[in-house]
Amino acid sequence: MVIYIVRHPETEYNKKKIVQGHKDSKLTKNGILIANSLGQKLKNKNISKILSSDLGRCMQTSKIINKYLKLKIIKTKELREMNYGDFNGKTSELIKKNFNLKNLNIVLPNGESFNQMKKRIIKFIKSLDRTTNILIVTHEGCLRAIVSYYKIKYKKIIIELK
């Protein structure tokens, strides 16, 4: 069994350096091209289902990839990006100015810490059925949490957990 993990491609907010958290923006034209490319790369990997963050940018990515895989997409809140609370949809510059995000336990007002998000993501990953190949479509923060927990070195958009 292999778990393939992809981050949604570039969004309009990414281009503007706006931290989305639980807010949303659509994929850019380049993001759509990348999602199509991911679909082509994944189409022969014997993936049985797609698990996606329920946020729009991941669902948009999942639907594009699914044009090539033709599978069931299961959306879940467990794969959401870190909740930046009152700072969802604000610029990264503003957040860095007000908070030391190097402290992985800092909870933004009405949000969650990186470590809280990491705990949520890892609990979800550990709960997965390990009998079939799965595609997970998620966010950068979630990907960083998975990589740091499993101590994976990666240089590709697609990570394979064996």
pLDDT in tens, 99-132: 988 899 999 999 999 999 999 999 999 999 888 9
Number of domains in the chain: 1
The greatest distance separating any two alpha carbons of the chain, rounded to the nearest whole angstrom, comes to 46
Give the Cα separation of 112 and 142 in Å (integer): 13
Element (H, E) at 109: none
Per-residue model confidence (pLDDT) at position 156: 46
Per-residue model confidence (pLDDT) at position 153: 53
SS3 60: helix
Q: Residues with catalytic annotation? A: 8, 81
pTM of the model: 0.90
pLDDT in tens, 10-29: 999 999 999 999 999 999 99
Per-residue model confidence (pLDDT) at position 152: 62
Pick from 20, 16, 13: which is nearest to 139 by CA? 20
**CB count in 10 Å sphere of residue 131:** 8
Query: What CATH code is carried by the domain that includes residue 132?
Result: 3.40.50.1240
Report the mean per-residue pLDDT for the chain. Answer: 91
pLDDT > 70: percent of the chain: 93
Domain range for residue 60? 3-161
Per-residue model confidence (pLDDT) at position 39: 96
| 70: Cα separation from own chain's centroid | 20
